[in-house]
């Protein structure tokens, strides 16, 4: 979430600097870079990365064990 806060946006793409919602002159415009299901996308990405890591670990162990048996 660092790139969002660096641009003055919260996780929903709302401006966190300047006038707050409900104050005079406040305009809340969602960022085109943040989708409504952002958290779901991040959870899905996390799951994919964990599956990749598990597969890579299993592949490493299989290769290691096959090389260790040769000696």
Count the neighbouring beta carbons within 10 Å of the beta carbon of residue 13: 18
Tell me, yes or no, if the pTM score tops 0.75.
no
Report the 10 Å Cβ neighbour count for 9: 19
Distance of CA 48 to the CA centre of its chain: 12
The string of DSSP letters for 12-53 reads TS-B-SSSPTTSTT------TTS-TTHHHHHHHHHHHHHHHH
Separation CA 55–CA 38 (nearest Å): 26
Domain boundaries, the chain: 1-34, 43-71
Please tell me the predicted confidence (pLDDT) of residue 37: 80
User: Per-residue pLDDT tens for 9-58?
Assistant: 776 667 776 555 555 655 666 666 666 688 888 899 999 999 999 999 99
């Amino acid at each position: 979430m660092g790139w969002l806060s660096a641009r003055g946006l919260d996780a929903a793409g709302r401006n966190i600097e300047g006038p707050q919602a409900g104050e005079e002159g406040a305009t809340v415009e969602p960022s085109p870079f943040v989708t409504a299901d952002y958290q779901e996308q991040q959870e899905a990405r996390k799951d994919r990365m964990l599956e990749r890591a598990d597969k890579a670990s299993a592949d490493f162990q299989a290769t290691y064990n096959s090389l260790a048996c040769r000696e």
